[in-house]
Structure 1
Amino acid sequence: MDDELDPLQVELDIEAGIQNAIDRCVKEYATPATSPETGGLHLRHPEGTAEVMLDAASAAKQARQVLDSPWAVYQAEDAETTLAVALDLLLTAQELVGDVLDRVVEARHRGDIRDSDGLTHALHTGRRAAVQMYRGGRHELGLVVEALAHTARHYPGRLPRDSHETVAAAAAALGDSARVDDEHHDETADATQVSCGCTLVLDVDGQTWYVSWNDEWAAVLDTGCTDSYVLTEGVDFVELAILPLSVHPHQMVEAIRRHIPSTTATR
């Protein structure tokens, strides 16, 4: 997955996409009221059902794209949460299949779907398969979630807690070509939320690059020009496309090496 695909933004996009699909289906296919017991939609046409299902499938595929990145999970706590959500999606998928089969049975009882021995057998085996789909890995994966939770509690990882630690850790990983320019502009600022003002300075092939945080991490080449000089994206200004302020230092090193290839780093 490209660095530009930010997990948080994708999650927000997925939620927005599903909500937009629901809003559209309410307007086009649903009755004005929702169920007071469940808040569920009373879709009045199969097209609405199909649209919601297709959007949900698309959202699930987007979630898989997020997990393509080796940086989708940093520590045990992240993995525990992510796997627990995946298990919840698995349960939802099993219940969803069961609900669809229930609707098939109801349509058959109404006479809208012609009955046959083959259909009756298929419904029974389909329902059993849906249950087994979830039960098959639920216990084993549940043990993994528990183990990750235990690890997170008793063996917490050690990652940068703020912008200064992020810069310092990345500089250490980059070796002799990097140093930290300590310039705390506001000692009272919360460095977990905003940059402390320090900069990662890189000396590469006779050039000097400055890596700092301004809503996102970016690298700027020291051109020696005046303030009126306009920086060119991809030439003397590079957005590293990694958003967390306390990003994993090796993730920052990886991004720097991608955009400034002459930089050397050790893991």
Structure 2
Amino acid sequence: MTGTEPWRTLWEDYEEPEIRYAVAEACDGIRGITEDADSLEPADTVALAIAGAEAAEGLRDALESDWALYTPQQAAVVASALFAQLNAATAIFESLQRLLQNAEDRRETAFTTEAADHLTHAAAAVAFTCGVAPGAVNALNACPDLTRLPSDAHETLAGVAALLGPAAKVTENHGPGEYSEDDRGFGCGCEIRFEHRGQAWNFHRGNSSWDLVREQDGEALEDGSTFYQGWNGLGPTDSTAHPQHLVTLIRAKLDETS
């Protein structure tokens, strides 16, 4: 994407695989309702409004995290999607006014001038806000991205080890360059071992998650592997999560268990 990309299509064209998967999961129910607009009933319409409100409030809460986004380009995608919602809201307020007018024409309500004025003013205010959309989105998208994010699980692991310091050792379980993640999401098989306040800890890629375990809690099995009754899943599931994000979570978890 470039700074000249139309602001309204940035969110539609975003192709990062992990995000596309999450979008499909989050939106399947909504798409199931909206695929045939002619068959929508009032219950569907109200449900869509409530789902949109929950999504907006969920995003508000998500953005409170210092690691909610990694790059300015991700911020541009979020801004593009938010302005698309506002742009749709303009038409929604106008549609509410039309629907209530239709109900009055059928003598099913008494649609007041005050209510009509409020909807008109709301639509105008939102439309005015959308006027800054192209500049805001394009400016964010043009910001230099100085972050070099990992390209695979092994690079993530190596980045975490470097940030943890010289005491953190990466145990290699494959040859050079053989870094592909297995089809079950268990990374490349490597792990980090380090000590914290006299206790040995292990950080590795689990079943599509990043896991931190205390080695004394493990049980050695006959095949040489170790079984853990419990582990600390750190939250981010992406195999290429920002290493500093993971280190922040590791240190917080270590503080909890000290």
Structure 1 residue corresponding to 2:244, chosen from 250, 257, 263: 250
Q: Distance in 1 between matches of 2:93 and 2:80?
A: 20
* Mapped pair 1:142 → 2:134: yes
Alignment deviations for residues 11-42 of structure 1 (CA, whole Å, 9 cap, x no partner): 5554244356x39xxxxxxxxxx8xxxx4133
Structure 2 residue corresponding to 1:212, chosen from 200, 204, 217: 204
Q: Which residue type is aligned with residue 163 of structure 1?
A: A
What SS does structure 2 have at the residue aligned with 1:243?
coil
What SS does structure 1 have at the residue aligned with 2:134?
helix
Give the Å deviation of 1:124: 3.6
Is contact 1:177–1:202 with CA below 8 Å preserved after alignment? yes
Give the Å deviation of 1:184: 2.2
* Structure 2: tracts of 5 or more residues without a match: 1-17
TM-score (norm 1): 0.73
Corresponding position of 2:39: 42
What SS does structure 2 have at the residue aligned with 1:209?
strand
- Select between 214-223 and 185-194 the one with higher mean Cα deviation: 185-194
* Structure 1: tracts of 5 or more residues without a match: 1-5, 24-33
Structure 1 residue ranges (4+ consecutive) displaced by more than 4 angstroms after TM superposition:
6-13, 185-189, 191-194
TM-score (norm 2): 0.75
Q: Distance in 2 between matches of 1:246 and 1:78?
A: 15
What SS does structure 2 have at the residue aligned with 1:49?
helix
Corresponding position of 2:121: 128
Aligned-pair identity in percent equals: 25
Alignment deviations for residues 182-218 of structure 1 (CA, whole Å, 9 cap, x no partner): 3326844535986233222221122221111122111
What SS does structure 2 have at the residue aligned with 1:176?
coil
Give the Å deviation of 1:181: 2.2
Give the Å deviation of 1:120: 2.4
Structure 1 residue corresponding to 2:220, chosen from 219, 226, 249: 226
1:17-56 → structure 2 map (5 Å cutoff): 17-19=29-31, 22=33, 39-43=36-40, 46-56=42-52
Is contact 1:184–1:197 with CA below 8 Å preserved after alignment? yes
What SS does structure 1 have at the residue aligned with 2:39?
coil
Q: Which residue type is aligned with residue 203 of structure 1?
A: E
Q: Which residue type is aligned with residue 41 of structure 1?
A: D
Give the Å deviation of 1:143: 1.4
* Mapped pair 1:201 → 2:198: no
Q: Distance in 2 between matches of 1:7 and 1:191?
A: 18
Q: Distance in 2 between matches of 1:108 and 1:185?
A: 74
Is contact 1:204–1:262 with CA below 8 Å preserved after alignment? no
The verdict on how the C-alpha distance between 1:231 and 1:189 changes in structure 2, with shifts beyond 3 A counting, is: closer
Q: Distance in 1 between matches of 2:221 and 2:107?
A: 77
Give the Å deviation of 1:88: 0.7
* Mapped pair 1:103 → 2:103: no
Is contact 1:240–1:255 with CA below 8 Å preserved after alignment? yes
Is contact 1:108–1:114 with CA below 8 Å preserved after alignment? yes
What SS does structure 2 have at the residue aligned with 1:56?
helix
Q: Distance in 2 between matches of 1:148 and 1:134?
A: 21
Is contact 1:80–1:148 with CA below 8 Å preserved after alignment? yes
Is contact 2:203–2:212 with CA below 8 Å preserved after alignment? yes
Corresponding position of 2:66: 70
Q: How many residues align?
A: 234
Structure 1 residue corresponding to 2:173, chosen from 183, 186, 198: 183
Q: Distance in 2 between matches of 1:82 and 1:230?
A: 41
Is contact 2:152–2:179 with CA below 8 Å preserved after alignment? no
The verdict on how the C-alpha distance between 1:262 and 1:52 changes in structure 2, with shifts beyond 3 A counting, is: closer
